[in-house]
Amino acid sequence: MRIIVVGGEGTIGRAVVAALSSGRHEIITAGRTSGALRVDIESADSVQQMFRQVGPFDALVSAAGNARFGSLETMTEDELVRGVHGKLLGQIRLVLLGRSYVREGGSFTLTSGYLLNDPIPGTVTFAVANGGIEGFVRASALEFGQRIRINAVSPGMAEDSAEHFGHLNPGRLPTPMRTIGAAYARGVEGFRTGEIIPAW
């Protein structure tokens, strides 16, 4: 398969690439500042340019998109919108523009996260974005049918990020990178659609 991994050189993206790099796939990494191709998922023009460069593909994994940490006490509407714009709308944009390039029977695998189901203080924008992604996946699967599969992976606190985020998650065990990578491989190489795949 020809697979695009957006955010392929980030913490989650590297686990995805490792899980899919056994010689049976052609992997194309893309990112804002790293990867084989440059793409800003907050820009429709940038996303469209990436798809024009790649051409037809079999699967796309999105391990990209940022939300914003911040207290609800002081959050403004504009800050909330900016906070979810990258992670939620950016990933939806990949699907909306990529559906014209994905081959019949191809797939999209997006990223939500544990902060929807088990939030911590300061993560309202993450919870909103993750909930939007999961709703989009479930509803889109009904319309795509088996022509295009779409799933999302919900990673826990990644082992490789625990040093930075562990103090914000007391009592939470880090999720091994191999477990996270395997969840994305299930989305790409499996048969289900409309599924939220936990990797906790």
| Domain range annotation of the chain | 2-199
**Cα separation of 100 and 89, whole Å?**
18
- The overall average pLDDT reported for the chain is 95
- Statement: residue 83 has pLDDT above 80: no
User: Are 45 and 83 spatial neighbours (Cβ–Cβ below 8 Å)?
Assistant: no
For residues 83 and 100, the model is more confident at: 100
**Cα separation of 122 and 15, whole Å?**
26
**Cα separation of 128 and 126, whole Å?**
5
For residue 148, give both structure tokens. 């295009």
Q: Can you list the pairs that 161-166 forms with residues at least 24 positions away whose Cβ atoms lie under 8 Å?
A: 161/11
In CATH terms, is domain 2-199 a member of 3.40.366.30?
no
Q: Region 67-89: what's the mean pLDDT?
A: 88
- pTM for the whole thing? 0.96
**Cα separation of 9 and 3, whole Å?**
14
User: Are 166 and 174 spatial neighbours (Cβ–Cβ below 8 Å)?
Assistant: yes
Predicted confidence (pLDDT) per residue in 143-193, tens digit? 999 899 999 999 999 999 888 888 889 999 999 999 999 999 999 999 999
If we measure between CA atoms, which residue out of 112, 105, 108 comes closest to residue 94? 108
What single string gives the DSSP state of each residue in 78-119? HHHHHHHIIIIIHHHHHHHHHTTTEEEEEEEEEE--TTTTS-
Count of all residues that appear for the chain in the document: 200
Half-sphere CA count of 175, side-chain side, radius 13 A: 21
Predicted confidence (pLDDT) per residue in 102-156, tens digit? 999 999 999 999 999 999 999 999 999 999 999 999 999 999 998 999 999 999 9
- The kind and range of the H/E element at 180 are helix 177-189
Burial class of residue 104, CB neighbours in 10 A (0-12, 13-18, 19+): exposed
